[in-house]
Amino acid sequence: MRLATIRTRGGTRAVRVEGEEYVELNAGDVGELLAYPDAGARALGAGVTGAWAGADLAPVIPRPGKTFCVGLNYRNHILEMGRELPAHPTLFAKFSDALIGARDDISLAPESSAVDWEAELCVVIGREVRRASDEQAVQAIAGFTAMNDVTMRDWQFRTKEWLQGKTFEGTTPLGPVLVTPDELEGGTSPRLNLASLVDGETMQQANTSDLVFGPAALVCYISTITTLRPGDIIATGTPGGVGYARNPATYLSNGQTLVTEISGIGRLENVARTS
């Protein structure tokens, strides 16, 4: 199943995507849908239909209760950054104001001159879980979506803590859809091709099988710290090819188009605009 959140005249609405059409569901967004005890039945419901190509896409989960991001989780990216493979996940957070839709503009803050791209696979939580076993972690995964963790590198590296460079407002596309594990190669341990492109030039290209810590392992680890609830997001990290690691370093500029693609999930296409 493929689920999305669209913007309508009356506010946002969760939809089920079926080929070239969408069907509106009885929930304001996908996060709200997942929180209902009868989420599965609601997701199969009937409603108003529309053309998917013309839909105004909001972030697939517009207001996640928690967004955990994982740094240094692709083997090739860790080596690119000159680091050793980690014994534990590196975690930081992102706030909802940073999130934008799959076709929205990325806000280039005038305070930063080093805006970088980071294509990522995201886990979406579908049921409450704390101190999850491996089996419980798998059962807690509602599906997967795509994100680009657009990062202000000059702010990220001001201190040893990364948060300030990771959650600038209006920078982080999330979507276009949530895809349930049964529709993806590898299920809850997906083996998907991931890429980012800037003005048509491929910058990142990898397969999610290169993750050091997979989705279920991350659910186990993070749920030890705090309860994970429906609609929470875990961004699993980015592969090599980021602008910061290039020689010379390369960053987004006004008017450039950033594309993020994950096989089986879809495409984010966002134009960077000076804010």
DSSP string, 41-57: HHHT----EEEGGG--B
Indicate if 21 and 79 belong to the same structural domain: no
Name the residue with higher pLDDT: 47 or 85: 47
Q: Are residues 53 and 113 in the same domain?
A: no
pLDDT at 85: 86
d(CA 130, CA 228): 6
Give me the pLDDT at residue 122, please: 98
- How is residue 207 written in tokens? 């397969």
Phi then psi for residue 67, to 5 deg, are -125, 110
Question: Are 127 and 232 in the same domain?
Answer: yes
The reported pLDDT for the residue numbered 236 is 98
Same domain, 66 and 49: no
On whether both 50 and 162 belong to a single domain, the answer is no
Q: Is the pLDDT of residue 184 over 90?
A: yes
Task: Name the residue with tokens 């697939």.
Answer: 60
State whether 38 and 136 are in the same domain: no
Task: State the average pLDDT over residues 237-261.
Answer: 96
Nearest to 30 by CA among 166, 145, 130: 145
Mean pLDDT of the residues in the chain: 96
Overall pTM > 0.85: yes
Tokens of 214: 């997979």
State the Cα–Cα distance between residues 118 and 260, nearest whole angstrom: 9
**70/43 same-domain check:** no
Same domain for 81 and 183? Answer: yes
Mean pLDDT is lowest, of 28-42, 77-91, 174-188, for 77-91
Give the number of domains in the chain: 2
Same domain for 120 and 249: yes
Choosing from 32, 58, 84, the residue where a domain stops is 58
Residue-wise pLDDT tens digits, 49-61: 999 999 999 999 9
Sign of CA dihedral 103, 97, 158, 78: negative
Q: Are 155 and 92 in contact (CB under 8 A)?
A: no
Give residue 122's domain range: 61-274
The answer, yes or no, to whether residue 77 has pLDDT greater than 90, is no
Tell whether 8 and 143 lie within a shared domain: no
Q: Is the domain of 54 the same as that of 66?
A: no
Per-state percent for the chain, helix, strand, coil, to nearest 5: 20, 35, 45
